[in-house]
Amino acid sequence: MTQSFFGPSIIDRVFVATGGHCSSKIYKNGSDTIVAYDNIFQQSSCRRLGGNWTGGHDVSGHCVMLIHASLFLWEELSWVFWSVPTFQRIRSQGGLEWFSILSVFSLLGLWWWMVLMTSVYFHGHLELLSGCVFGILGWAFTYLYAFPSIPFIGMPPKSLASDENTSNSIPMERLSEPEEVDQSL
């Protein structure tokens, strides 16, 4: 999500747009000289030249990815909150379905712990806030615009416990075997 095959990542673009640039210390004639590279727009290219990103606003990429991925999994598990009888049935049966739900919730807990540790040790408040905004925007674009506008994806039924709301599923007639055609004509 943060990298692009259309050029520098969104995070690098924000960094450069807010005044960031690549610079390097060079030892010349007995003194340190700081050299700025004007045409470097990616952090990876700057590091390859031995430079450092300076100035600019550093969006927290950890925050972007962890929040985007967490919201993605929360969205995929949202049926748990809307279909309590189905959730209770799966919990009482145990098995692989229950184990996979517990695994996803454990992963979500781990990711939120990682966001907390990132916020404490690695980034400032504005960097975290902008990371949260980009993570939420990525999720919102995907689930509120892209998925609903693609007709063959559809949205999940409101309740998995009832068969009434299956307007987005494939009709059973289409799944049955085709009728034999009389070819004696």
Domain boundaries, the chain: 10-54, 61-157
Of the residues 21, 68, 123, 125, only one is catalytic, namely 123
Given a cut of 70, whether residue 183 has pLDDT beyond it is no
- Name the more confident of 139 and 171: 139
Other C-beta atoms within 10 Å of 58: how many?
21
Is residue 62 among the annotated active site residues? yes
Q: Residue 156's pLDDT is what?
A: 58
Of the residues 21, 62, 68, 125, only one is catalytic, namely 62
Tell me the CA distances in angstroms from 108 to 8, 70, 75, 114, 132, one per residue in order.
29, 6, 12, 10, 16
Q: Residue 37's pLDDT is what?
A: 76
| 3-class SS of residue 56 | coil
Angle at 136 between CA 3 and CA 16, to 5 degrees: 45
| Buried residues in 14-43 as b, exposed as e (16+ CB within 10 A) | bbbeeebbbbbeeeeeeeeeeeeeeebbbb
Contact (CB, 8 A) for 7 and 41: yes
Cα-to-chain-centroid distance, residue 26: 39
Q: How confident is the model at residue 23 (pLDDT cuts 50, 70, 90)?
A: confident
- For 44-74, how does the pLDDT look when each residue is reduced to its tens digit (9 = 90+)? 888 888 888 888 888 888 898 999 999 989 8
- For 110-167, how does the pLDDT look when each residue is reduced to its tens digit (9 = 90+)? 999 999 998 888 888 888 999 999 999 989 998 888 887 877 766 555 555 444 444 4
Angle at 62 between CA 57 and CA 64, to 5 degrees: 75
Segment 70-98 mean pLDDT = 85
Is residue 125 among the annotated active site residues? no
Separation of alpha carbons 68 and 65, rounded Å: 5
Q: Residue 3's pLDDT is what?
A: 63
Q: Residue 132's pLDDT is what?
A: 92
Q: How confident is the model at residue 85 (pLDDT cuts 50, 70, 90)?
A: confident
- The tokens 């747009």 sit on which residue? 17
